[in-house]
Structure formats: C-alpha cells, structure tokens
C-alpha cells in the first residue's frame, strides 16, 4: 500500500507541496500550519529564519546564519551574500535605514521568488 496525500494528486512541476510554516505553529484545527513549497511565503520564511539565526546555533550546519550585528552594525553586503548562498530561491532588495539617536539601525529585506523557481517570479 502506498501513501496517498489528502486532496488532489501532486504531479508535475509547480505542484503545491506543503512545507511546515516557519516559525512552526498549530492552527485552530489542531494541525500544523503549512505553506506551499517555493511560494513567496515559503521563501520569505526561510530568509527570515536565516537572518534570525546566528552561526553555530545549528549544530549540524554551524556556518548557517548571519553574524550578530550588535557590536559591528548591520552589514548589507554580508546579509545579501548569506541569502544568496543559503536561499537561492530568493530575489531580495535590502535597505538599511539611518542610525537613530539611540544608536539603533533598521534593515528592511523585501523578498520575491526568483525567476525560474516554481514558475515565474511572483
């Protein structure tokens, strides 16, 4: 007997394959929330996980993540390089704001699905 997923059959390129949502969450129906593979939500959540992870936090992949900018400031190039290396499905635009009087900086990352991944760019 083979496993048959609920709903329509998943065939061909671009078929909707559910991935667990990041961050992991349970819906009101008690099931784990999911997003479609290669969707904008999937790619954006993977970029968010990358940016929120510091190197060495993932034991099996210690180089995964972005260096803590607390004492060095935000490095747009380093963030862009890490996203390009770890999440090639993402086409990102990164904007770094001015430093406030309190010494804080803000970085905005706009994520789109790169062309050729799961169909045309969205």
Question: Do residues 79 and 92 make contact, with C-beta atoms less than 8 angstroms apart?
Answer: no
Domains in the chain, ordered, with CATH?
18-113 (3.10.450.40)
Interval 60-100: pLDDT, tens: 999 999 998 888 878 889 999 999 999 999 998 888 877 77
pTM beyond 0.75: the answer is no
Instruction: For residue 114, name the pLDDT band (cuts at 50, 70, 90).
Output: confident
58 or 6, which is more confident? 58
């Amino acid at each position: 007997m083979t496993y048959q997923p609920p709903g329509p059959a998943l065939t061909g390129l671009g078929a909707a394959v559910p991935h667990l949502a990041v961050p992991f969450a349970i819906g009101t129906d008690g099931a784990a929330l999911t997003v479609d593979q290669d969707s904008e939500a999937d790619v954006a959540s993977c970029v968010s996980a990358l940016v929120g992870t510091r190197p060495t936090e993932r034991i099996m992949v210690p180089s995964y993540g972005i260096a803590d900018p607390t004492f060095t400031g935000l490095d747009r190039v380093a963030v862009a390089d890490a996203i390009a290396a770890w999440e090639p499905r993402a086409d990102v635009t990164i904007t770094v704001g001015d430093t406030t009087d309190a010494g804080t900086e803000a970085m905005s990352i706009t994520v789109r699905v790169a062309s050729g991944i799961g169909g045309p760019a969205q």
